[in-house]
Every structure is written in C-alpha cells, then in structure tokens.
Amino acid sequence: MKQLYVIGDPVAHSKSPLLHNTMCALLGLDFTYACRTVHKEELAAFLTAAKESGCAGFNATMPFKELLLPYLDGLDPLAKKLGAVNTICIECNKLYGYNTDCPGYTAALRQHGFDPQGKQAVLLGAGGAAKAVALGLSEAGATVLVANRTASKAKAITSLCPDKIRPIPWPTADAPDLAGADLLVNATSLGMAGQGEFSDFTFLDALPAACLVSDLIYHPAPTELLRRAEARGLATMDGFPLLIHQAILALEHFTGHAIPPDQVLPALEAAVRN
C-alpha cells in the first residue's frame, strides 16, 4: 500500500483524505491518503522523511504552495507560470511539482456545462486561488476582468496573460463591466466561515440573467453570495466541483492512472456533501 498525504498548517479540516480514499477504494488503487500537519520550519525534514519512507507523493495547502518551489527537482510548466504547486509526486527520490487547481477549475466549469472559450469572466480577488482561476480561464479562451480590494494585486495578475486579463475597479450596482459578464467568480475569502462578508451584494443586479455565479468557497455551501445570486434567478456553482476536480487530477498524477470523472463523481459528491 503506497502512502499519500496532504500537508499544511492548518490542515486538519482538509477534505482531501476523504476524496482520495474514496477514489482509491472505488477504483481499487493500492494507495492510502492521510492528513499531516507540517509547520513551516519542519518542511525540509518532512521532505527527507517522505522520500526515505517511500511515500508516493502529497498535496500541499497553506502555507506550502509557494514555499515548496525551491525544493523541487522538476516543475510542470503551468505550475511554473503560476509560481505555485498543490501536487508533488515523489519518484526515484526526486520531487516533481504540479498545479491541479488551475485545470481543476476549468474542468469543474465544463462539468457544469460552461465552456470558457470566448466568454467574459469577472473575477473577484487576486490572491493565490484567483491567480489559478485567471490563468485557467484565460488559457481556456476567456477574457478575465479582475477586481480586487488591493488594486495593485489585480494589476499584477494581468502579467499571466496580458492579452486576456485586465484589472477593473471593485464592482458596484451600476458597473458597466458586469453587464457583459458570462461568469462571475468569487476568489476572495469573503463569505468563508469565520472570515468577513460582502458588505453589499447590489453588484449582482448588474449581471445579465444568463450569467453563472461561481464561488470557490465550500464552507459554507452555498455562501451568502450564491444565495443572493439564486434569489435573483442566476445560475450558481459552489466550491465543491473545484475541490473534487483538483483531487481527481492530483490522483492521476500520483498513480499514473487516467480517472474518468464520471466514474467517481457521484461517490465524491456524496462524500463531500454529507
């Protein structure tokens, strides 16, 4: 039985063990997946121990997505562009880094019936999660308008794909940029349990009736943003599809097996939503 982990600090809340162990049981894969709290100063020791113990790989969450980069022997081009990894495979004592948040988000959208090609997206936030979404959407052919509390960070994100990503002011009820949106994505921490909340939702009134409103947050699901969007008759997507698709793609890297999403989606949906 090969060992996999998710490391982070804090990480005890992670749903990754549930997702990966559900998939491994369903597909008969000989892997077991556990949660492992690693403090920043313990990272080097964890990596040495993981290699020595024959661990097959691990997922990384806060604060390691960027901190891991100097330790890697190989880096996937997408992860290199983002400057962040969430999936590390260990092969022959070497560490290879990938980012499955970025393709995971576009896979989640497609599963929801939304093809980003030629669409206009408004992205709220410019942190690590927002960067992955902005790159995924722009590479899938969407135009991405980024609004962030700290405008300089929205501007910085545009360097990922200057032709397709541009900064806009934080949206208001009459924001002209929202009228042409096919997709609105919340990648800020606003609405997350224990974090702040949007002080004003009237910007939702500026969205066209066919706009999909997506929140990366899954605790709670739905968020207040999605409840308000639903009340206005807009279609919504909560944070679970991203969580699920980034896990499917990570397990493909760890095991080398192609995992058809249709084979695992019902079990994963049931596991995380219960």
- Sites of contact with ligand ATR (CB under 6 A): 125-130, 148-150, 153, 187-190, 196
State the Cα–Cα distance between residues 109 and 254, nearest whole angstrom.
23
Q: How many CA atoms lie within 13 A of 142 on its CB side?
A: 26
Find the residue with minimal CB distance to ligand ATR: 127
Catalytic annotation, residues? 65
Find out whether 3 and 53 touch, Cβ atoms under 8 Å.
yes
- Under DSSP, the state recorded for 180 is G
Q: 3-state DSSP call for residue 45?
A: helix
- Token digits of residue 144: 């991405």
Cβ 61 to ligand ATR shortest distance, Å: 9
Strand-strand pairing, 87-91 and 94-98: antiparallel
Cβ-based nearer residue to ligand ATR, 48 or 150? 150
For residue 124, the surrounding DSSP H or E stretch is: strand 120-124
Q: Min. distance of Cβ 130 from ligand ATR in angstroms?
A: 6
Shortest Å, Cβ 31 to ligand ATR: 27
Shortest reach from residue 216's CB to ligand ATR, in Å: 8
Residue 14 vs 189, nearer CB to ligand ATR: 189
Q: Which is nearer to ligand ATR, 134 or 251 (CB)?
A: 134
Name the residue nearer to ligand ATR (CB basis): 13 or 149.
149
Please tell me the distance from the alpha carbon of residue 164 to that of residue 142, in angstroms, as a whole number.
7
Of 149, 114, 165, the C-alpha closest to 157 is 165
